């Protein structure tokens, strides 16, 4: 029997934390031979803010034991070629793939995913919120989140980290601060006879892994899409580079773009200029109109750029196109967000909206529509009624039609006026995700557009994601792994041990490029010191 190990240390599955001390400043008092007067405002203080990260987790592991199917009406195994996993297009309508939709070994009905996760949960710990940060203070520094002694081809699992920045906004990286340890642990006879056995530890290449920004439900849905995807060795190498990988979103070169990149949950930056820089971003900033709270700001920092950026959310309730179009003006369900053209905004506002639509047969389409209200820099909050555009009755630019990126960017309806999307995809098609996009990829543009309040049927769909996570707001990151079913003897007795951690930096006066976190990589938490 093999003794394959796959260890994730709990000690490093906690935040690397940045803290600042306290300083004070008092007013001085001088004397003079001249008539003078001194009015003193006493006890002035400057008190530094804090930056702290609470981390909780839940862990799941599937080894195909009988009890995993309790309460599950249907479990489908991917039946493709050996060594392959199913993709989104292979899923039956109404099914969720595990461990991810993009690489699934099994699928279960959407409404039964929670039951399957309950059956396969191996451990969990609440983050305790900013009042306690219990996960950090309860760590024993020894036990592992994942410690498996008999991994077989076809096994899979995931750990979802539930995070909360306390008080102040921050950038957050997931990392593998100390690399990994891999060992062959000798070679069994079947392993030596396997034609795939070679130099090195095959488990690093055979096991596959993915990382994504999650909504906290422990599986990939809506507009969620992997930030990292590949062999365990390659993913760990990426996480061990610099500060690791920022989990707010991802950067995509023009040559690597796929349609779903535009509706990805989080921030996605596109390098259309081809210079290797990503000059368009979505920042967390104060309301430009002076209101309370923070909003998302698509910006190129005052420069003209051909780069592009989107900020996407998964839609609660997944409205159907029928619900959005049954009345062209006041439908059963509305879909809206607000936008504000800043003083330096260039050619367009609100610019593009992107929708991820799933048809009744499971086919997915990414569609987009541009809009320009004719006053891109008028510094006023306005509402974009996306449902009216979906119904072919837009507030602006009736001649602008929807484009289908999943079908080569073709114009839906072969030209204007704006098409009713339900006539193309059916009333029962659902909208899984929505993203606001900003940029002009041809001649370039100055980006200065703000977004807030995405809503479905008048109910909040959360906040538009930004490169900087809001303080005192929950967010989650998922790490999934799986062993493809065509591999066997070459991984016998192999073991890999590694750490996962999180690193955070303040957002203010910081471009998010990341400083060196070497000084905090070995800390369990600062609260215990």
Q: According to the 3-state scheme, what is the secondary structure of 128-151? A: CHHHHCHHHHHCCCCCEEECCCCC
CATH number where 452 lies? 2.60.120
Counts for the chain of helices (H) and strands (E), in that order: 9, 33
Residues 197 and 279 in one domain: no
Output the CA angle 104-106-108, nearest 5 degrees: 115
Residue of 214, 223, 229 whose CA lies nearest to 311:
223
Give the mean pLDDT per block of 10 residues along the chain (529 residues).
Answer: 39 31 28 36 41 78 90 89 84 92 92 95 79 43 58 86 82 86 62 50 84 91 91 92 89 94 95 92 95 93 95 95 93 97 93 96 94 94 97 93 93 85 96 96 90 96 91 87 70 75 83 62 41
CA atoms within 13 A on the CB side of 364: 24
Residues 366 and 447 in one domain: yes
Residues 286 and 139 in one domain: no
Q: 216: phi > 0 → left, psi -120 to 50 → alpha, else beta; which?
A: left
Using the 3D structure, point to which of 467, 499, 524 is the last residue of a domain. 467
pLDDT of residue 110: 92
Residues 311 and 270 in one domain: yes
Residues 112 and 139 in one domain: yes
Residue of 432, 353, 412, 416 whose CA lies nearest to 385:
353
Residues 281 and 394 in one domain: yes
159 in Cβ contact with 479 (< 8 Å): yes
| Residue 29 covered by a domain | no
| Residue 389 covered by a domain | yes
| Residue 26 covered by a domain | no
Q: 359: phi > 0 → left, psi -120 to 50 → alpha, else beta; which?
A: beta
How long, in residues, is the chain? 529
State whether residue 304 is helix, strand or coil. Answer: strand
| Residue 526 covered by a domain | no
Residues 82 and 226 in one domain: yes
What is the rounded distance in angstroms from the CA atom of residue 445 to the CA atom of residue 307? 9
| Residue 22 covered by a domain | no
The alpha-carbon radius of gyration of the chain (Å, integer) is 25
Burial class from Cβ neighbours inside 10 Å (0-12, 13-18, 19+) for residue 63 reads middle
What is the rounded distance in angstroms from the CA atom of residue 138 to the CA atom of residue 132? 10
Residues 337 and 459 in one domain: yes
| Residue 274 covered by a domain | yes
Residues 171 and 191 in one domain: yes
What is the rounded distance in angstroms from the CA atom of residue 90 to the CA atom of residue 252? 25
Q: How far is CA 99 from CA 68, 125, 238, 267, 444, in A?
A: 14, 21, 20, 23, 40
**Number of domains within the chain:** 2
Range of the domain at 191: 48-248+468-515
| Residue 520 covered by a domain | no
Say which DSSP state 300 is in: E
pTM attached to this predicted model: 0.81
Cis peptide before 417 (omega within 30 of 0): yes
Residues 75 and 216 in one domain: yes
Residues 116 and 213 in one domain: yes
Q: Strands, DSSP E only, in 307-389?
A: 308-314, 335-341, 352-358, 364-369, 381-385
Residues 225 and 317 in one domain: no
250 in Cβ contact with 471 (< 8 Å): no
What is the rounded distance in angstroms from the CA atom of residue 505 to the CA atom of residue 511? 10
| Residue 437 covered by a domain | yes
């Amino acid at each position: 029997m093999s003794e394959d190990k796959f260890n994730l240390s709990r000690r490093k599955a906690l935040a690397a934390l940045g803290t600042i001390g306290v300083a004070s400043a008092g007013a001085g008092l001088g004397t003079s031979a001249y008539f003078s007067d001194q009015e003193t405002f006493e006890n002035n203080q400057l008190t530094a803010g804090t930056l702290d990260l609470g981390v909780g987790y839940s862990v799941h592991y599937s080894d195909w034991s009988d009890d995993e199917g309790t309460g599950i009406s249907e479990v489908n195994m991917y039946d493709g070629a050996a060594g392959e996993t199913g993709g989104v297009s292979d899923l039956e309508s109404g099914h969720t793939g595990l461990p991810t939709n993009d690489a699934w070994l099994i699928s279960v009905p959407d409404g039964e995913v929670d039951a399957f996760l309950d059956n396969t949960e191996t451990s969990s710990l609440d983050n305790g919120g900013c009042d306690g940060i219990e996960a950090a203070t309860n760590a024993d520094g020894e036990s592992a989140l994942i410690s498996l002694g008999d991994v077989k081809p076809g096994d899979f699992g995931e750990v979802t980290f539930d995070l909360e920045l306390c008080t102040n906004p921050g950038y957050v990286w997931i990392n593998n601060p100390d690399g990994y340890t891999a060992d062959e642990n000798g070679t069994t006879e079947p392993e030596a006879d396997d034609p795939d056995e070679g130099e090195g530890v095959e488990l690093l290449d055979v096991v596959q892994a993915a990382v994504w920004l999650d909504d906290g439900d422990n599986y990939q849905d809506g507009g969620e899409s992997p930030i990292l995807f590949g062999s365990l060795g390659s993913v760990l190498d990426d996480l061990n580079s610099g500060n690791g990988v920022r989990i707010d979103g991802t950067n995509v070169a023009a040559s690597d773009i796929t349609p779903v990149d535009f509706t990805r949950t989080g921030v996605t930056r596109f390098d259309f200029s081809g210079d290797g820089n990503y000059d368009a971003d979505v920042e967390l900033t104060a309301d430009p109109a002076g209101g309370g709270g923070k909003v998302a700001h698509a910006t190129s920092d005052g420069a003209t750029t051909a780069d592009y950026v989107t900020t996407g959310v998964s839609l609660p309730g997944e409205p159907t196109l029928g619900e959005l179009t049954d009345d062209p003006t006041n439908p059963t369900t509305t879909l809206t967000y607000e936008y504000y053209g800043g003083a330096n905004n260039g050619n367009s506002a609100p610019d593009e909206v992107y929708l991820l639509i799933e048809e009744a047969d499971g086919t997915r389409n990414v569609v987009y529509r541009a809009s320009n209200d004719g006053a891109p820099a008028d510094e006023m909050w306005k509402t974009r009624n996306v449902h009216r555009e979906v119904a072919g009755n837009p507030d602006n630019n009736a001649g602008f039609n929807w484009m289908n990126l999943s079908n080569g960017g073709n114009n839906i309806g072969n030209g204007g006026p704006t098409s009713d999307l339900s006539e193309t995809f059916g009333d029962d098609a659902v909208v899984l995700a929505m993203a606001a996009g900003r940029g002009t990829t041809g001649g370039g543009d100055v980006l200065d557009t703000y977004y807030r309040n995405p809503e479905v049927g008048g109910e909040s769909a959360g906040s538009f994601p930004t490169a900087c996570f809001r303080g005192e707001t929950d967010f989650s990151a998922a790490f999934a792994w799986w062993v493809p079913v065509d591999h066997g003897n070459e991984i016998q007795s192999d073991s890999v041990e590694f750490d996962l951690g999180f690193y955070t930096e303040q957002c203010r006066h910081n471009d998010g490029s990341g400083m060196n976190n070497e000084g905090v990589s070995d800390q369990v938490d600062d609260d215990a010191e």
